[in-house]
Every structure is written in structure tokens, then in C-alpha cells.
Structure 1
């Protein structure tokens, strides 16, 4: 099982700060969370995705992943 944490606008769109997931790949996870949280459809493509602290932009097997962070772009400086 993998814990997914949502931050800022992603948390607002998902309606939660975190949840436990069972998908086996990052592509499957993205599809499932958009299906369950449709408001993420516009935000997720712009989000950084960190898998166990390492940013990834492609697909990845999540067999051993413990934590996934969904980070929308942040403004400020």
C-alpha cells in the first residue's frame, strides 16, 4: 500500500490531504485518482510528483513505494 499526499490546490481538488492507494504503477495511480477526484484532472498534469522523495515525470512501478507527494506549482518568491 502506498500513501499519497496532496498539497495546496491538489489537496483542495482531491478533498483530502492524503489517502492510501493500491495501484501498481504511476500511470495507473494518475488515472485512478482523476477518476475518483475529477477536479484533479486540470491540476494533475502541472503537478510535480515525488515518489519516496525523488521527482519523477514518467511511469514507474510502485511495488516498493511508500510515499507519493503530489505538488502543484507554487507561486511566490
Structure 2
């Protein structure tokens, strides 16, 4: 199972800091996350997903069983 870590607004919407999710692609992961946490429906489309530290923008991108996926909403700072 992949470990999904949530940051900022994504963490607030999910209600957890991290969790384990079984998914083999980014698209399947997205569907599983929205199913578990309906509040992510509006948040996830604005987020970047980093799979193993690399941005995954394609729903067909693979997600390994031992992968770490970071869900990063847009943020500003300085």
C-alpha cells in the first residue's frame, strides 16, 4: 500500500496527516481518496501529487505498493 501524506488544506480536508491506500495508478488513487474523504473532491484537482518525490500529472502514472505520495495544495510564501 502506498503511504499518502497530506499537507496544509489537503490535510484539513482529509482530516488525517497520512494514511495507507491501495492503488496502482494516480487515477485510482485519486478515486480512492475522494471515496474516503468526500471533502477532497474540490481540493484534489488543485493539488500537486508527488509520487516518490516526482510530480505525477497523468492519471495513468503508476503508484508502487511501497511508494510515498505527497498531496500538496497550492501555497504562497516568502
Same-fold call, TM > 0.5?
yes
Aligned to 1:63: 64
Aligned to 1:54: 54
Unaligned runs of 5+ in 1: none
CA RMSD of aligned residues (A): 1.2
What CA distance in whole angstroms lies between the structure 1 residues aligned with 2:66 and 2:45? Answer: 21
What CA distance in whole angstroms lies between the structure 1 residues aligned with 2:56 and 2:39? Answer: 22
Unaligned runs of 5+ in 2: none
TM-score, structure 2 normalization:
0.91
Aligned positions, number: 77
Structure 1 residue ranges, 4+ long, deviating more than 2 angstroms after superposition? none
Aligned to 1:75: 76
TM-score, structure 1 normalization:
0.92
User: Does structure 1 residue 28 correspond to structure 2 residue 28?
Assistant: yes
Secondary structure at the aligned position of 1:5 is classed as strand
